Amino acid sequence: MKELELKYGCNPNQKPARVFMTEGDLPFKVLNGKPGYINLLDAMNSWQLVRELRAATGLPAAASFKHVSPAGAAVAVPLSAELQKAYFVEGIELSPVATAYIRARGADRMSSYGDFVALSDECDAQTASFLKREVSDGIIAPSYSDAALEILKTKRKGTYLILQMDTDYKPEPLERKQVFGITFEQQRNDVELTEDCLKDIPTVNKEIPASAKRDLLIALITLKYTQSNSVCYAKDGQAIGIGAGQQSRVHCTRLAGSKADIWYLRQSPQVLNLPFRDDVRRPDRDNAIDVYVGEEYMDLLGGEEWKRVFTEKPPVFTREEKQAWLSTQSGVALGSDAFFPFGDNIERAHKSGVAYVAQAGGSIRDDNVIATCDKYNMAMAMTHIRLFHH
């Protein structure tokens, strides 16, 4: 199939809309549902992300995409007991691809609401069963087991979008797009991100263990498919906070750091022991957790709203308790899609337990950034690779 007509473009008024190939057939098959314009943008970007994560780490990978940027990305690193409880999969033996998906979805569950999912490996029945319970628009994977396909075809009253990607597809080296009737053309960003890009370490601390190198690569590859400016915090085989599309880099660092903090607060005893009602829907539970760890929880306690989700009123998670818990976070990796212009980014990163940094370098204030890393004994690699994505 060379062409696929779409219902409309980015918005309902943008008609007609289609995707097509000038040569050859489209590199994906529609196994179920009807794709939309944004669905396919998410699918093609997320597929590239998981494919590169798979190649760089040798592990099955998954991504959760929203509005052409990842909300989460991860590889199949086994879950700790705390993460099993935080991700609501206690006592379940997970397949590798299910592990990657659970991690990707767990990075920022509020942002993943209504996501598009990408898997680097075949979707198995277990992953499909987890996905069936989530609010999601579609999935792309290289293949599906018969059982997985049967499960997914029942989702969203049979309309769930299921795409199968041709793993042998290789795009042309030049890419084009139109803006306001003007055609832009450029070399496709086919730079490969490997451990070789982490060799230039100008900081006093030059020790980056294998697990941190893996997490730095996860952060950098995630940023390659995140709308710029962008910053990504990663730990334990997954992105834990992504800041996308901000005009100021320090705002990216703050946004991503705030998400990383929420990810870690979700693993605190105060959150893990919240008394949820059995009839609470998953999105309502996730929203309640975000409210509970936020400052607005005082407003929730002041009324009767807590009765909608909890069996009893939980105690306030005080600012001091949250700071005490966040102070135990460590070993976090941080990637940036371009250079850090000031040391303030490192100061903010330190508050979220960052110990390892990878950034392009090349700022006139590199010395200040290096000195700030040295202040906190961070190891920082300068990749000399910019990863802007627009």
For residue 307, give the H/E element and its range. none
CA-wise closest residue to 165 among 186, 139, 194, 147:
139
DSSP 8-state assignment for residue 338? S
CA–CA distance, 322 with 264 (Å, rounded to integer)? 10
Is residue 384 annotated as part of the catalytic site, yes or no?
A: no
DSSP count for the chain of H helices, then E strands = 13, 15
Q: Which of 32, 45, 66, 350 is catalytic?
A: 66
Question: Does residue 251 have an active-site annotation?
Answer: no
The two tokens of residue 32 are: 């179920």
The tokens 């946004």 sit on which residue?
255
Extract long-range pairs of 284-291: CB within 8 Å, 24+ residues apart.
284/308, 284/309, 285/309, 286/109, 286/110, 286/113, 287/110, 290/110, 290/262
Per-residue DSSP letter, 315 = P
Dist. CA 361–CA 255, nearest whole Å: 21
- Tokens 């020790």: give the residue: 207
The active-site residue out of 224, 229, 259, 350 is 229
Q: Helix, strand, coil % (nearest 5) of the chain? A: 35, 20, 40
d(CA 222, CA 225): 6
Nearest residue to 332 via CA among 237, 262, 250: 237
132 CB burial (10 A radius; 0-12, 13-18, 19+): middle
**Maximum alpha-carbon separation in the chain:** 62
Contact 32, 160 (CB under 8 A): yes
User: Active site includes 224?
Assistant: no
Instruction: Say which residue the tokens 């940023």 belong to.
Output: 223
Within 10 Å of residue 41's Cβ, how many Cβ atoms? Answer: 16
Selection from 140, 143, 160 nearest residue 63 by Cα: 140
Does 66 qualify as catalytic in the annotation? yes
Catalytic residue, chosen from 157, 170, 273, 390, is: 390
Put residue 253 in one of left, alpha, beta given phi > 0 → left and psi -120 to 50 → alpha: alpha
- Residues with a catalytic annotation lie at 66-67, 229, 390
